[in-house]
A and B are shown apart, each in its own frame.
Chain A
Amino acid sequence: MPERLRHLLAIEPLTAEQIVFLLDEAKPFQEFQRYPLKKLATLRGKTAALAFFEPSTRTRISFATAASRLGADTMNLQAETSSLKKGESLLDTVRTLDAMKPDCIVIRHSSSGAADFVASRLEIPIINAGDGMHEHPTQALLDALTIRDRRGSLEGLRVTIIGDILHSRVARSNMHLLGKFGCHFTLCGPAMWVPREWECSGLRVRRTSRIADALEGADVVIVLRVQQERLHEPALPLDEYILLYQLTPERLRLARPDAIVMHPGPMIRGLEIDPAVADGPQSCILEQVTNGLAVRMALLFLLIGTGSESDQPKGSTHAAD
């Protein structure tokens, strides 16, 4: 069993063994989502602070639901209504939260490194729910769980990522994760959005601006959201993006017949993805959402569900072994 995790700040420093352990721990929680009674008492009396300094709906709801199904309470901080608007610093805000004695803080922030910064200054476990353009580790874990379920294994898959890869923490975390399992990557999008940073990473990465090239032989196709606010930086008309990069049923036929299509959401039908693909048999978009709950339940359980007191022998209950 891998070493005890204290935080989840990024995928990059994790070992393949730790990742497999996390995915395995999420399996019972996948099954749990089908129970008639979706409530455990495992984290009763624990509190997870959800500090979202950046707007988020699905990730916040996913963490809140995961905590609630484990029996934990949540404290919610949302950017729109918080004192951040009044100029309080990140550190002061999280210290204030910490003073209310939560058992962990789930943090999303627009600055890369925000989760690390908070983890280095507080004593409690920190879960990164997305920091700037850096990482979104729980998204990568839920994606990996989805891929492993559909394809049986993560090893050596051909993974195509389409869209604004440069600004995407989802793409970055996914590449760090799947790269540890020998996956090959093809990054596809307008040249300004396809970064060169991976060329020296040791990963097998190919860049292309032609979607037909990118899809050829792919096992996994990850479509990223087009952040429309970025389309003007340099100008790229929306209809041109659709024409060149939309994932359509015709284009998807270039991938392997059993290829799966993923999207981290929120997706805009008719922009980056054709509705027929989004709703088609190869799409795992809703499985991703359900698996997100499972991964986040597993993480909360591991980080705050068990004691961290050292060398405690196995309890007297003769329970697990």
Chain B
Amino acid sequence: MGVTEKKQLMSATEIDRTLQRLAHEIVEKSGGTANLALIGIRRRGVPLAHRIAKAMRGIDGVDVPVGTLDITLYRDDLSKVAQHPVLHSSDIPFGVDDKDLILVDDVLYTGRTIRAAMNGLFDQGRPQRVRLAVLIDRGHRELPIEASFVGRHVQTSSSEIIEVRLSEVDDQERVMLVERVN
């Protein structure tokens, strides 16, 4: 099984502009940033959360704390994983109790990752509110989960894959639409 690149969905500039907009929306719709914190879902949600936090500093001068969450232990498909999964530490350097949290991920697809993330989050306390910000919403939900902040909606077929490539993780900066070919 291989993959072919179909087209570029976002350039580096477009990613940046979208994150700026998301940062503005979050500030605007939060009614104050005092209680706000961002939680990046490993792996690519983490650099995105840091970038949004940086953009928010530029808007309001507010320092919004950023945590990271590894959801591997909360996945619902571990019985189908043949390789040993690589675990990473979650690092949430603040108590989540009564916080106004924004989960950040790159792509919203089935919603299962977000379900896992919420379970992981609630193991650490009881946030006052949890919202979700994603760079891309590609549809095909399997759970009743929606994002509060969406960078871009993209229509996809289930054989397509959206690859968000970020300079912190990958050696390039863009969003690609890729197709699985048998």
Contact = CB atoms under 8 A, between A and B. Distances in A.
A24 B79 CA distance: 21
A36 B124 contact: yes
Interface size class of A (residues with CB under 8 A): 35 or more
A237 interface: no
Interface stretch (A51-59, A208-216, A263-271, A304-312): A304-312
A280 interface: no
Nearest to B85: A320
Interface string B141-173: 000000000000000000000000000000000
A99 interface: no
A312 B82 contact: yes
Interface stretch (B5-13, B22-30, B48-56, B87-95): B87-95
B84 A315 contact: no
Q: B interface, by DSSP: helix, strand, loop or mixed?
A: loop
Nearest to A29: B87
Contact of B86 (A1, A31, A35, A37): A1
Contacts of B123: 35, 37, 39-40
A316 interface: yes
Contacts of B76: 317
B79 A307 contact: yes
Contacts, number: 105
A317 B110 contact: yes
Interface in B69-127: 70-91, 107, 109-110, 112-113, 116, 119, 123-125
Q: A interface, by DSSP: helix, strand, loop or mixed?
A: loop
Contact of B73 (A28, A307, A308, A321): A28
Contact of B80 (A21, A27, A315): A315
A36 B125 contact: yes
B85 A306 contact: yes
Contact of B89 (A31, A42, A321): A31
A312 B87 contact: no
B1 interface: yes
B87 A309 contact: no
Most chain A CB within 10 A, of B74, B75, B116, is at: B75
B110 A306 contact: no
Contacts of B73: 28, 40, 42, 301
B80 A309 contact: yes
Interface residues of B, number: 35
A21 B84 contact: yes
B87 A317 contact: no
Interface in A279-321: 298, 301-302, 305-321
A306 B125 contact: no
B72 A319 contact: yes
A87 B177 CA distance: 66
A25 interface: yes
A318 B106 CA distance: 10
Contact of A318 (B42, B70, B72, B110): B110
B21 interface: no
Given A4-B83, A35-B123, A320-B86, A315 B77 contact: yes
Nearest to A307: B79
Nearest to B81: A306
* List of 3 A-B pairs having minimum Cβ-Cβ separation, nearest first: A315-B77, A317-B112, A307-B79
Given A4-B84, A307-B80, A319-B72, 9 more contacts: A2-B84, A29-B87, A42-B74, A306-B82, A306-B85, A308-B82, A312-B82, A316-B77, A320-B71
5 contacts: A4-B83, A42-B74, A309-B80, A314-B81, A318-B112
Interface of A: 1-2, 4-5, 21, 24-25, 27-29, 31, 35-37, 39-42, 298, 301-302, 305-321
